[in-house]
Amino acid sequence: MSGTVTTQAGLQAAPADVSVELSARRTGMSFQRTRMSADRTLMSVIRTSLSLISFGFTIYQLFEKAFEAGILESSLAARNFGQALVLLGTLMLGLGIVYHVRFMVELRRERAGMAADGLIHGEGAFPVSLTLITAVTLLAIGLFAVASTVFKLGPFG
């Protein structure tokens, strides 16, 4: 058995070089796994926020319409509860987006530093996060819902 290994590109490399190459590839893949994990965390924030916003808006609208129809004498407490849920969901989503963006900026910075040091390849850029785009869109909808319930404005009023 010789002291060299043939790589996929057909180049001869010493076993230690192959070990370093494999380690760099594993580290590069771990950055991708961490990025996907951050996206999954943001998806769980989206799921919880969407539940709070939609449930709060439904409660608000239900009791508002029941009051307008004369079914209830007062719907203030239920409407305030609905508003609070909408505000809580929107605030939670906004904070989740800020946390996600800060985490991803730091992850990119760490990855760029390791690539500059030659520890990983870092040739491929991180793709655009569709989860973040969805979260920002939902945040806009949540803000419209807040405007609708608090100020009686917007497309949901």
Number of folded domains that form the chain:
1
Give residue 156's pLDDT: 58
The pTM (predicted TM-score) of the whole model is 0.76
Q: Which domain holds residue 97?
A: 5-151
Residue 105 pLDDT greater than 80, yes or no: yes
Q: Examine residue 157 and state whether it is found in any structural domain, yes or no.
A: no
Calpha distance 83→4 (Å, rounded): 69
Instruction: Read off the pLDDT band of 13 (50, 70, 90).
Output: very low
Q: Which of 13-17, 24-28, 105-109, 120-124 has the highest mean pLDDT?
A: 105-109
Q: pLDDT tens, 29-81?
A: 788 888 899 999 999 999 999 999 999 989 988 888 888 888 888 878 888 89
Instruction: Read off the pLDDT band of 1 (50, 70, 90).
Output: very low
**Do residues 49 and 89 lie in contact, with contact meaning Cβ atoms separated by under 8 Å?**
yes
For residue 6, the surrounding DSSP H or E stretch is strand 5-6
Buried b (16+ CB within 10 A) or exposed e, 48-62: ebbebbbebbebbbe
Residue 8 pLDDT greater than 70, yes or no: no
